[in-house]
């Protein structure tokens, strides 16, 4: 059932993009940096390019964030390992003190 819902949503999204392209095919003149002058594009192409650039920028930001989180996870795992080791040493010391007390009694 869940697979059908995904396909239905995907079909609606594709139909939206297709009908948007058909209804907005008039040319747009783009004046921009890098000596791009009077570049003629259909309006839908300009909108699609903006969407793709936004998706790409979002992916790059997400990937960079993921790398920093992985770095932090490794740091925290090392810290946890050191604390676990310290805790086990303290427990061993307590057990040794306990045995000492038992043998001295």
Q: Is residue 93 part of a domain?
A: yes
Q: Is residue 69 part of a domain?
A: yes
Domain range enclosing 47: 26-104
* Rounded Cα distance, 55 and 81, in Å: 38
- What average pLDDT does the segment 18-34 reach? 82
* Inter-residue contact 29 to 39 (CB < 8 Å): yes
Q: Is residue 55 part of a domain?
A: yes
Q: Comparing 43 with 69, which gets the higher pLDDT?
A: 69
Q: Is residue 18 part of a domain?
A: no
Q: Is residue 88 part of a domain?
A: yes
pLDDT of res. 36:
66
* Rounded Cα distance, 39 and 49, in Å: 14
Q: Is residue 10 part of a domain?
A: no
Q: Is residue 60 part of a domain?
A: yes
Q: Which residue(s) pair with 36 in the sheet?
A: 32
Q: Say yes or no to pLDDT of 73 above 70.
A: yes
Q: Is residue 5 part of a domain?
A: no
What is the overall mean pLDDT for the chain?
Answer: 88
pLDDT of res. 33:
72
Number of domains making up the chain: 1
Q: Characterise 34 by phi-psi region: left (phi > 0), alpha (psi -120 to 50), beta (else).
A: left
């Amino acid at each position: 059932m869940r697979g059908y819902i995904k396909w239905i949503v995907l079909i609606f999204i594709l139909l939206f993009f297709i009908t948007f392209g058909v209804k907005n095919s008039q040319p747009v003149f783009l004046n921009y940096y890098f000596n791009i002058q009077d570049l003629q594009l259909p309006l839908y192409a300009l909108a699609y390019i903006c969407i793709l650039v936004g998706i790409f920028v979002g992916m790059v930001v997400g990937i960079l964030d993921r790398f920093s989180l992985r770095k932090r996870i490794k740091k925290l795992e090392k810290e946890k390992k050191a604390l676990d080791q310290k805790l086990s040493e303290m427990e061993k010391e307590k057990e040794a003190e306990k045995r000492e007390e038992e043998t001295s009694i």
